[in-house]
Amino acid sequence: MEEQIERLADMIVHSKRVVVFTGAGISTESGIPDFRGPGGIWEKYDPADFTLQRFLSSPEARKKHWEFYLSGGFGQDVKPNLAHYAVAELFNIGKVKCVITQNVDNLHQQAGVPEDVVMELHGNMKWVKCLGCGKRTPLEEIVEWAKAENLDDPRCPECQGILKPDAVFFGESLPERVLSDATNYSSNCDLFIVIGSTLVVTPAAFMPQYAVQSGARLVIINIGSTPMDRQATMLVEARAGEFMVKVVEKVKEKTDRK
């Protein structure tokens, strides 16, 4: 592992346009379960109830959603872990140009990466949007209000519109502007670092392909294999937090020497 830490640090130091791409594996170290893994959310809930069509058309489906949120099932109190802080530190020292994430947990922003630098392909579960008037409210506020009022399908207090978490549901298109920006960053980077993603969910999984096609080096830090392993310059099978903290330390050492 020491050799891999040294090698990745060298790559980061000598790169000018680094993109970091993160998936569920970076946030499991904060206690958020992987949706698809053992003990994940899909073992407890039917994914069919999490489609946009079901959410809009079925009060019962919406109640299942709110049962999940009101019980704290998404982990509203989780905090960034060492890997999130390491990515933020690489941004702060000027090495990372953007963070593209499949996650909806807001942890990169909490760790210190500016909002306009984080490309959230699947939205952000920390916010709730009214589908009637468009008002956005922190999920935490809606949860507290719904509990106080004993509501199992809360509606917008302004217009009585349906309240939907501001994440991308099954059957819903990814935010067009975010997808366009992420594609542009991926196609113009010189180093693309994947942390904690199996790279099977599209179109998010196209991002490392765009990077490789444009000549960038690809580093994959993940427990388990991915479809892009053969195209990677380096594969690291390790816990992201411990590994990335050491990489940042090495980057700082090498940068100070220059």
| 136-138 and 18-22 strand pairing | unpaired
Name the active-site residue from 65, 84, 108, 122: 122
The per-residue pLDDT for 231 is: 97
pLDDT exceeds 70 at position 202: yes
122 is known as an active-site residue:
yes
What's the confidence (pLDDT) of residue 1? 87
Q: Categorize the per-residue pLDDT at 30 as very low, low, confident or very high, splitting at 50, 70 and 90.
A: confident
Q: Which residues pair with 129 in a beta bridge?
A: 136, 164
Nearest-angstrom CA–CA distance, 49 and 233:
40
* pLDDT given at position 163: 96
**What confidence score (pLDDT) does residue 257 get?**
63
Predicted pLDDT of residue 177:
95
Burial class, 36, CB count within 10 angstroms (exposed 0-12 / middle 13-18 / buried 19+): middle
The token duo for 123 is 């939205």
pLDDT in tens, 167-186: 999 888 999 999 999 999 99
Residue 31 has pLDDT above 90, yes or no: no
CA 14 → CA 8, 71, 142, 255, 258, distances in Å? Answer: 10, 46, 46, 10, 11
Q: CA-CA distance, 153 to 177, in Å (whole number)?
A: 30
What pLDDT sits at residue 75?
A: 56
Q: What is the pLDDT of residue 20?
A: 98
In order of their start, the domains of the chain are: 1-32+79-122+174-258 (3.40.50.1220), 33-77+124-167 (3.30.1600.10)
Choose the weakest-confidence range: 30-34, 113-117, 207-211, 233-237.
30-34
* The residue to which tokens 């388990």 are assigned: 224
Strand runs labelled E in 67-190 = 96-101, 118-120, 123-130, 136-138, 163-167
Quote the pLDDT of residue 74. Answer: 61
In sequence order, what are the residues at sequence separation of 6 or more whose Cβ sits closer than 8 angstroms to the Cβ of residue 43?
A: none
Which residue type does 77 have?
A: D
Q: Would strands 123-130 and 136-138 be described as parallel, antiparallel, or unpaired? A: antiparallel
Could you tell me the two tokens for 180?
């366009």
Task: Calculate the CA 103 to chain-centre distance.
Answer: 2
Mean pLDDT of 55-76: 83
pLDDT digits 0-9 by tens, 133-166: 999 999 999 999 999 999 999 999 999 999 999 9
> Quick one: average pLDDT of 86-104?
96
To 5 degrees, how large is the angle CA 135–CA 102–CA 53? 55
SS3 call for 226: coil
Share of the chain above pLDDT 70, in %: 93
3-state percent helix, strand, coil for the chain, nearest multiple of 5: 45, 20, 35
Mean pLDDT of 93-106: 95
The number of beta carbons lying within 10 Å of the beta carbon of residue 85 is: 20
Q: How confident is the model at residue 41 (pLDDT cuts 50, 70, 90)?
A: low
Residues 221 and 227: their CA atoms lie apart, in Å, by: 13
Lookup: tokens for 247:
């990489």
The identity of residue 28, as a single letter, is T
